[in-house]
Structure 1
Amino acid sequence: MNPLDRRDFLTRMTLAAAALSLPHYGFSSIGRADDFVTTDTTYGRLRGARKDGVNLFKGIPYGGRISGDRRFRRPATLEPWTGVRDALEFGAPAMQGPRRNEPAPSEDCLFLNVWTPANDSKKRPVMFYSHGGGFVGGSGAAGGQDGSNLARNFDVVVVETNHRLGLLGFLYLDELAGSDYAGSGNMGMFDIVDGLKWVHDNIAQFGGDPNNVMIWGESGGGAKTSCLYAMPSAAPYFNKASIESGPGVRMASKEIAAETTAMLFRELNIAPKNWRKLLDIPAADLLAMQAKLPFAPPFQEKNNKKSLMERRAGGFGPVVDGVALPHNPFDPTAPTISRDKPLLVGWNEDEFTFFAWERKDTEFAKLTFETLPKQLETQFGENTPQIIETYRKANPNATAPDIFIAVSSITMMGLGSVDIAEKKVKQGGAPVYLYNFGYKSEKKIPGTDYAMGTPHAMDISFKFNNEIPPRDGSAPKESFFGGNRPERFTASHHFAELWTTFARTGKPAAKDVPAWPAYNLKDRPTMRIDTTCEVIDNRFSQELAMWRSIGKV
């Protein structure tokens, strides 16, 4: 049992996406809609469904074909339709393993979903969400992300896309395939930009304001948001952003992406000059080959030996190609292109308990202060004694498992989040707000007496305000991660109100929540989100000073 390092992260995000598709978080069925509603778009008329005060349009195509001769390229032109097209069923997710309660994955996957209080002329803020799952899994219909409660309770419009993932979305062919394949290493990101352009052109018909769009996302969706924040093609289509438990500070270089492509050709026994053979291989076979390649982190971090960790070849994600993604999203600085766009960034306090749960790891809960060093040395080497000493001093009542979880969680998601916040402040533009989500679930990790706390991905159902009592007055069901305590409903409302207010105004605020000051390098204020929220200055000051001293921030 070892700490989860960034090289393992991408694999785990695929599994996380599958795990969070369980029926505990299922979307409302449209089969018993209160009524149907139609609206116009630039491509034709759509029919959606109205239920419980929300209009939901599912499976709206926003791009054309990306299979056949369009594989690894920009989509074919989306052709308009005549008559009224039903938008009552979710569209196919990108190629991946089967997903619960969703259509079969397909190479042609450019669909989006819209939740709105009404298709009227009211200019509501638009919350454009990128799903998690690293860069290899997930969809815009993933469990926990139902936008109904946000739309109904906070008068916003929610949009979620499917987009290319993995090898089909991020295989770097620019140096082999010619101008038609320019930007091939970022096709999955270009798809999201196309979704944003669709919003710009059409969302007014759904009661949304095309000039007030917030991009946001958790885990892999946070890393996607980090990239969008730095992409010139995305810049005209959003006004603010939120990066949640997925700080995408650095992405793959062209050199590493080219090595990954060469690795794929070797595995397929294809000479690079014969790259066109990739167009004839069934998508399912490419997916199987993707699973055989080594995984690499979707983003990179500092280590204590050199300024940047060299990412190993393998794995698929955005490429710093100098054009689509001109530079690393937040290295060496925050992107100038988004200087004037407010930003939220943060992480969950106990991120790592999710991965212990997912891997059925019970050994961490048996750690003692005698055995803890061995578990951390694999990742931190000679710095391990200093790390443990610092955490024991800063957290005198913490057990050895507590320290293991704290160290693993902050290195996974926290240090990159702080790095982003600091670089945004140094830029001197729009404000950045740093947060920690801290509501504690009492659910135990199976096989242990250790509570989940605030695991990775638990924030999804909270920030979408999907932790609420049933509307029919029946007894609440246990939340998949959030447990049984009714206090979770208050924490969920705080989280959702803070985010929707930020979407509306560019400044997060909520009733019964203290004023949230923008992050600065003097007080370093952090909002801790819980049943009772509080602003904490210089949070984790001892721990962060230590991480800086060994070059991790």
Structure 2
Amino acid sequence: MYVQAETPAGAVLGRRDSFGELYRAIPYAAAPAGPARFRAPAPHPGWSGVRDATRPSPTAPQPVRDFGALDMSPYFGPGWVRGEEYLTVDVRTPAADDGRRPVLVFVHGGGFVTGSTRAALYDGRAFARDGVVLVTVNYRLGVPGFLDIDGVPPNRGLLDVLAALGWVRDTIAVFGGDPDEVTVFGQSAGATLTGALLATPEASGLFRRAIVQSGSGTGAFTPEQAGRVTVAAASALGVEPTAEAFGKVPDERFLAILPALAGLDLRTETASDPLAGLSPFSLVLPVQPADSLVARDVDLLIGTNTEEGNLYGVANSDELGHTLFGAGTARMAQAHARIPGGRTYAYSFGYRSTALGGRLGAAHTVELPFVFDVAGEPWLHGDAGLLGPDPAPEGLAARMHGAWVAFAKTGSPGWAEYDAVEFFG
């Protein structure tokens, strides 16, 4: 059945089912169209009448990523679904009433170039079932989101996430959520963005807790590294490396040059490539988030999977996983544990998927079906499914999802606080 909620920007029409209510494609900022693609997010002007929030949002411009025999579409979603107004959130809530329920805000992964709220893995039914409001966020990707250009704000994708958190603060009570009990969580690139929020003064007061799943507190490019990507992008496009020139380029051309940016040598005298060549885009910061934390009284749950690098099918998968996720996660956990106020919890996820003849194992992304309690869905199984042909272990999804819910509600996932010696030696 249809339901309606009144937000400060206007009324929205959603749907009610047996799990609660779902509202999709609600704008949290104005459309990043034309030159606005390279500006900070601007407030949405609102609308008259009732906005249809029953259909999914357009997505940020993005390429199609191929993982061979492994079906990663539940993770990446459908790719680029065109439409200018894609700075939106989806809200899954038990009810849009005057309840004061804890809120989880999810920031998707995808190497800073892909992903969206349309990905099947991010279904929020289980969170609503368990009394939590789930908000999933679209943000700018690739060149519009993260290319470092003189004269325009850097890290525009991160600014989008900040704007979405501001929307949550101002609006989530309409959907039965408590703006004082917000947990922001992300996976992969989304986890790196989440960790960066802990080092962003403007994020103060927007959330009480954070969960960093397979991200890195040391995943940012230096300005020198980012400058190399900008020069390469301008060269591939045949334009000057200026905001004016990039602003005239259509999104299709930004996607077309991505292969030319792959494999750039970003090593400098002072920094290695934190993404090991897997993406030409990341945050651009003079100091890594793990070395510049400013958040106080924010609880953190942080961890990795035991075989992260297996997703990428390389011979040195253990080394790659440590470089991309393990080392930066350890540094972030250690740094946060030294800050007074907030508690620090760590986890290590070790369930081995039987996909790819058992070779996938406890790879990057394998924890997500258990966090969202969708591990039994048939589209995650079979020869090409992320979890492989075998059924998921009984009770694992309930345990992991339950820990995330408990953390959102109480600040504790149900185990002892972080011990650096126990987790990282």
Match for residue 354 of structure 1 among 308, 311, 320: 311
Partners of 1:107 and 1:283 within 8 A in 2: no
Deviations 1:325-353 (A, max 9, x none): xx42102x5x0x21321111111112222
- Aligned partner letter, 1:172: D
**How far did 1:62 drift?**
1.1
**Residue in structure 2 matched with residue 292 of structure 1 by the alignment:** 260
CA contact (8 A) 1:242 1:343 kept: yes
Equivalent of 1:158, from 127, 131, 134? 134
> Do the aligned partners of 2:219 and 2:282 also contact (CA within 8 Å) in 1?
no
Instruction: Give the SS at the match of 1:318.
Output: coil
State the Cα deviation string for residues 443-464 of structure 1 (Å, max 9, x = none): 2425xxx443222101111100
The C-alpha deviation readout for 1:152-184, integer Å capped at 9, x for no partner, is: 1x210000111100111112223xx3xxx2x2x
1:170 and 2:170 aligned:
no
Match of 2:81 in 1: 104
> Residue 213 of structure 2 contacts residue 302 of structure 2 at CA under 8 Å; is this kept in 1?
yes
1:50–1:454 Cα change, 3 Å: same
Aligned equivalent of 2:18: 52
Name the counterpart of 1:130: 107
Counterpart contact for 1:418–1:434, Cα < 8 Å = no
Q: Equivalent residues in 2 for 1:82-101 (5 A)?
A: 82-97=48-63, 101=78
Task: Find out whether 1:227 has 2:196 as its counterpart.
Answer: yes
Residue 191 of structure 1: aligned partner: 160
Larger Rg: 1
Contact 1:250–1:330 (CA under 8 A) maintained in structure 2? no
Q: Aligned pair in 2 of structure 1 residues 467, 166: CA closer, same or farther (>3 Å)?
A: same
Whether contact under 8 Å (2:355, 2:385) holds in the other structure is: no
| Residues 262 and 445 (structure 1), Cα distance of their counterparts in 2 relative to 1, 3 Å cut | same
1:502 lines up with 2:407 in the alignment: yes
- Write the distance in 1 (CA, Å) between the matches of 2:9 and 2:162: 18
Aligned partner of residue 44 in structure 2, secondary structure = coil
Q: CA deviation at 1:292?
A: 1.6
Q: Give the match for residue 531 of structure 1.
A: none
SS in 1 for 2:57: coil
* Contact 1:240/1:341 (<8 A) preserved: yes
Q: Which amino acid aligns with 2:416?
A: P
The verdict on how the C-alpha distance between 1:234 and 1:451 changes in structure 2, with shifts beyond 3 A counting, is same
Q: Is the 8 A contact 1:252 1:317 kept in 2?
A: yes
One-letter amino acid of the counterpart of residue 272, structure 2: M
Say which of 21, 24, 29 aligns to 1:63.
29
Q: One-letter code of the match for 1:42?
A: P
Give 1:471-550 correspondences, 5 Å limit.
Answer: 480-483=385-388, 488-509=393-414, 516-521=415-420, 524=421, 538-539=422-423, 541=425
Task: Give the % identical residues.
Answer: 32
Quick one: which amino acid aligns to residue 355 of structure 1? Y
**Cα deviation digits, residues 418-461 of structure 1 (max 9, x gap):** 222122223344221111112233x2425xxx443222101111
Between the aligned partners of 1:104 and 1:49, the Cα distance in structure 2 is 22
In structure 2, give the amino acid aligned to 1:200.
R
Q: Deviations over 1:508-551 (max 9, x none)?
A: 12xxxxxx111134xx3xxxxxxxxxxxxx2564xxxxxxxxxx
Render the CA deviation track for 1:390-418: whole Å, top value 9, x for unaligned: xxxxxxxxxxxxxxx54543444222222
The 3-state SS of whatever aligns with 1:236 is coil
Letter paired with 1:53: F
User: Is 1:440 aligned to residue 352 of structure 2?
Assistant: yes
In the alignment, what sits opposite 1:422?
334
For residues 457-468 of structure 1, the aligned pairs below 5 Å read 457-468=365-376
Once superposed, what is the RMSD of the aligned Cα atoms? 2.8
1:139 aligns with 2:108: no
TM-score normalised over the length of structure 2:
0.88
Structure 1 position 344 matched with structure 2 position 301: yes
- Choose from 291, 312, 329 the match for 2:289: 329
Distance (whole Å) between structure 2 residues aligned to residue 490 and residue 96 of structure 1: 36
Query: Do the aligned residues in 2 keep the contact of 1:96 with 1:105 (CA within 8 Å)?
Result: no
Q: Quickly say closer, same or farther: Cα 1:100–1:173, change in 2 above 3 A.
A: closer
TM-score, length basis structure 1: 0.68
Kindly indicate whether the alpha-carbon contact (under 8 Å) linking 1:167 and 1:290 is maintained by their aligned counterparts in 2: no
Distance change (3 Å), C-alpha of 1:435 and 1:46: same
Q: Which runs of 5+ in 1 are unaligned?
A: 1-34, 322-326, 365-375, 377-404, 471-475, 510-515, 525-537, 542-553
Q: Which amino acid aligns with 1:520?
A: D
Report how far residue 203 of structure 1 moved. 0.5
**SS at the partner of 2:395?**
helix
Q: Separation in 2 of the partners of 1:436 and 1:226?
A: 17
Distance apart, 1:81 and its partner CA: 1.1
Unaligned runs of 5+ in 2: 65-75
Contact 1:92 1:108 in 2 (8 A): yes
Q: Determine helix, strand or coil for the equivalent of 1:427.
A: coil
Contact map agreement 2:78 2:118 (CA 8 A) in 1: no
